[in-house]
Structure 1
């Protein structure tokens, strides 16, 4: 009897202790830490909104973004108040001379860094200083890979992946780029009516095109074979984006909601499809049948070489699970970046037909009606200027996030652990202070003498990131986009359709909310 009493007493004590610990942890996360961070930021003259338990400014942000998305824009490049209304509002209210306002994303303060020198300091950090904001468990269902890793794991993955994107490897993929362009152009020419005109949504077209490219260049398969992965990752992107707009509650992913179940189903199916592809490739390698002219082959070749060179080290190579995550990243980053770049380029050239004519004249001078070569693409100055200006006005990623895991000195400020640093790519790209009064106008001439001259050697243009973590696939994306645009300009002229609605918004990347409807006119070769 006495033993049972003490056992019940012990169980009750443990339960109470656990409840106290959970309660204290919740109070620390949702109240005490935010108040300490708020005091430390404000003591340094950093201004921002007051913390409100437990959501901070999330409800207000959701309302601002929701209201902005209900209203399309006139045809202009003044898109900030629609795309990032919460950022423009924070800068207007709290910016001040230090240009470091902050707002609250749940219990975490997000400091907006508008000083190019501070942006450079943050992005220069290889690792161990300003870390990438860790994905939530829901975010990790979409992709991890080198994009998400820190420390030695990032170093290892980046070292193994880099050779796959070397310029000589990129040249090997030109026939695959060309084959995908052939299919796109042939399909469009079949849609032309007797007058040589047709209306089409190029947003969906370029999504399919870039998925085709990444399927062939990553796995040597056609778009039809890779279509399932593409469709699943596209759905997962939307589901993860919905979760990212809300405060993540630890353990929420285990609640069997409809969206949680669907996210997990997609994760398992994509992983199974990619694992099957990788195992087939490993089998082919063992039998001496495998090609290494696609990204998966190049990655596995580099991984094998890396393991052999460091066979005395544990964990020297990537596991199958690591390779799966890198393949998911190929699909997400490779497909998204190019499709949005091409889409906004078509919209912008429709809005500015004089630049469309200049680009076409350059293309015809360099290539005529011949298929583009790698060397020829590098000689396209006007086309390159146009792409840079489109990337300035419509960067694929509108912000970059970092966080402090320990107290860090940055310029005149000292940021305590737990602060999120938001680098507003799109605000800096549109800043009149740095680009002049025509900052929100389309003017490719600003890049006539290159990026350094256009930016006056300031870090105010970084559509692919910057520093050690700059996008490894930057050259891949630009080469693919250049080849596609060349082929289009050789065969078609483009104007906006009356049904087009100018409504840029973000779902992880900057996209046209209602599609990109244009009218294509088939050109007759001279």
Structure 2
């Protein structure tokens, strides 16, 4: 009897080992090779699949090398910003793919196919898991289906125009603080050399701290600092991001990353709990993103019985920070670089701002009259998109154009390639020409369709905070131009290299002159 039981136990163990062994082997070899065969049959080309790692070792090496050095000043920098992708596309053509570990990612550059993908979020979903993204942010950016619909409904009120008008006071206050610091720097001689990037980066963090957390914005600064460090740590772990179980590998970066994640959760939970108690006691306010979000969430729970959990509110607050600060600071700083290179547009923008506001305080309603500045910001978004690539994936066999894409395929929508495509924008594609947008975005892109320019994504999942970002960028540039002129310093190093967004790797050293 005991012998029989022992044999049964051994048989069960063997079955389990074989079953899991097959799953691992399928994940690490058979499935990738099957997807590779499909890609090549469809006319896509790329490196042959390498067991488990794919292209990640070469990818990480080229990214590390790319970050180390600046490039000559040019708006044509896609080969620098995406060195490995550029290498693959140059080698294999537009219809190419790379390996993120055992997962193939095919490039989609046809605006019509991109429009189809972004118009069908239930068929072309965010890749899950996606180690780089999931390590830093969550919330509305990564949720799908019914959960996304519920979260979007709850969060929507925070970005209504009326609430943006209320938050504009916080934006103006933060801008004024930064401008005052620059006035002190130029007080003696009238001009000075300054790296404006830390100021603008801190400004964006200050704005999102104040608009998201109101009176708790000092605590909010801790979130800003932690998330910046998390992004740096991710790059230290880039080569192993797509390895299974990589979070258990006890490297210094991995250990610090886990500690930061816990601290971030603790800080956010403390802020949210304080606000919830204040609201429940009749003392809370609803004039910031957190207050509006909690009020909307309470309403959802009252009406439908289920709202967002504490963990989900925390994830949305993390998203406020990374999406709300990094993307806007990138837009502002690259606008200053472009206006430093193209003084005629700096002068035109300043003249318009002085016509609309004079030297007086800005107001939200007046921003819509800044037509030239809007053209400039759109051209900067085209040349220097804060997010240079969107990713989608198939979970089942899905039709796209004339292809039937198998499940498990990642799709790279490389907006930076589209924004710098000569066939779409003409031979002057890499020149700074805001007049492209003189008749608005729709007229600028009508020949090639709306997804030839989609800095805030497109379709049902278009960025909920785009009006907030544009209002902050307009207000900041307008306030700077009211008081200063600026040009590139000789010590400026051009290095638009993507991290999560695309910050200047070596800062932005400018000569600023007080003109008031």
Q: Same fold (TM over 0.5)?
A: yes
Q: What is aligned with 2:347?
A: 357
- 1:433-448 to 2 correspondence within 5 Å? 433-448=423-438
- Residue 495 of structure 2 contacts residue 504 of structure 2 at CA under 8 Å; is this kept in 1? yes
Q: Does 1:507 align with 2:499?
A: yes
Comparing 113-122 with 199-208, which one deviates more in the overlay? 199-208
Length-normalised TM-score, structure 1: 0.94
Aligned to 1:410, which of 393, 400, 408? 400
What's the CA shift for 1:247? 4.5
Q: What is aligned with 1:92?
A: 90
Query: Aligned to 1:200, what secondary structure does the other structure show?
Result: strand
CA deviations over 1:130-184 (Å, ceiling 9, x no partner): 0101244675342210101011111110111111101111011111111111111
- 1:172-187 to 2 correspondence within 5 Å? 172-187=166-181
Q: Does 1:133 align with 2:142?
A: no
Q: What is aligned with 2:387?
A: 397
What is the CA–CA distance in structure 2 between the aligned matches of 1:90 and 1:447, rounded to whole Å? 32
Q: What is aligned with 1:476?
A: 468
Shift of the 258–60 alpha-carbon distance from structure 1 to 2, 3 Å rule, reads closer
Q: What is aligned with 2:455?
A: 463
Q: What is aligned with 2:96?
A: 101
Q: Does 1:157 align with 2:151?
A: yes
Shift of the 70–449 alpha-carbon distance from structure 1 to 2, 3 Å rule, reads same
CA deviations over 1:364-403 (Å, ceiling 9, x no partner): 1110001111111011011000100001000011100000
What is the CA–CA distance in structure 1 between the aligned matches of 2:488 and 2:182, rounded to whole Å? 16
Length-normalised TM-score, structure 2: 0.96
What is the CA–CA distance in structure 1 between the aligned matches of 2:216 and 2:342, rounded to whole Å? 34
What's the CA shift for 1:251? 1.9
Query: Aligned to 1:495, what secondary structure does the other structure show?
Result: strand
CA deviations over 1:244-276 (Å, ceiling 9, x no partner): 554422222123332222111111111111111
Comparing 41-50 with 358-367, which one deviates more in the overlay? 41-50
Comparing 471-480 with 278-287, which one deviates more in the overlay? 278-287
Aligned to 2:142, which of 137, 148, 161? 148
- 1:67-82 to 2 correspondence within 5 Å? 67-82=65-80
- Residue 106 of structure 2 contacts residue 409 of structure 2 at CA under 8 Å; is this kept in 1? yes
Shift of the 132–244 alpha-carbon distance from structure 1 to 2, 3 Å rule, reads farther
Shift of the 237–456 alpha-carbon distance from structure 1 to 2, 3 Å rule, reads same
Aligned to 2:116, which of 110, 113, 121? 121
- Residue 218 of structure 1 contacts residue 294 of structure 1 at CA under 8 Å; is this kept in 2? yes
Q: For structure 2, which runs of at least 5 residues remain unmatched after alignment?
A: none
What is the CA–CA distance in structure 2 between the aligned matches of 1:302 and 1:123, rounded to whole Å? 27
What's the CA shift for 1:8? 5.4
Q: Does 1:192 align with 2:192?
A: no
Aligned to 1:18, which of 16, 21, 28? 16
- 1:43-442 to 2 correspondence within 5 Å? 43-95=41-93, 99-127=94-122, 129-136=123-130, 139-221=133-215, 223-311=217-305, 316-442=306-432
Query: Aligned to 2:244, what secondary structure does the other structure show?
Result: coil
- Residue 219 of structure 2 contacts residue 267 of structure 2 at CA under 8 Å; is this kept in 1? no
Shift of the 340–222 alpha-carbon distance from structure 1 to 2, 3 Å rule, reads farther
- Paired residues, number: 514
Query: Aligned to 2:503, what secondary structure does the other structure show?
Result: strand
- Residue 211 of structure 1 contacts residue 223 of structure 1 at CA under 8 Å; is this kept in 2? no
